[in-house]
Copies of this chain bind each other. A is one copy, B any other.
Amino acid sequence: MLLGRVAGTLVSSRKDPSIEGLKLLLVRTLDLDGAETGQSIVAMDAVGAGVDEVVLLAQGSSARQTEVTRDRPCDAVVMAIVDSWEVGGEERFHKYRAAGGEA
């Protein structure tokens, strides 16, 4: 899976009927330090992610293994919102601290 930050949203009115009603997110991928890698991807949303949230993406046929994406022409899905991660015992990202909160 990939780490990413939701950057925006995309609108399409003419599309394959199978993706009607699905929300399309623009996501910038992140490295283990939480820095942007320079790559981006369009993903369908399975968890109600909002702009600026840090998320986890599944790609390929695995992107079709959520309830909302099953049997859709979907090769990338946001399937989790990330709370935090640590590397070598040290916290590298925390949802609330990253946002400047005190949680």
* Interface residues, chain A, with chain B CB atoms under 8 Å away: 1-3, 7-19, 24, 26, 28, 31-32, 40-44, 46-48, 51, 56, 58-67, 69, 71-77, 79-89, 92
Output the least CB separation between A27 and chain B (Å).
Answer: 9
Could you say which residues of chain B place their CB within 8 Å of the CB of A79?
15-16, 19, 73
Contact A26 B87 (CB under 8 A): yes
The closest CB in chain B to the CB of A10 belongs to: B85
Could you say which residues of chain B place their CB within 8 Å of the CB of A44?
1
Contact A43 B7 (CB under 8 A): no
Output the least CB separation between A51 and chain B (Å).
Answer: 7
- Asked whether A81 and B15 contact (CB < 8 A) given A51-B89, A66-B73, the answer is yes
State the 6 A-B residue pairs at the shortest beta-carbon distance, nearest first: A15-B80, A8-B87, A62-B75, A1-B42, A10-B85, A58-B73
Contact B51 A8 (CB under 8 A): no
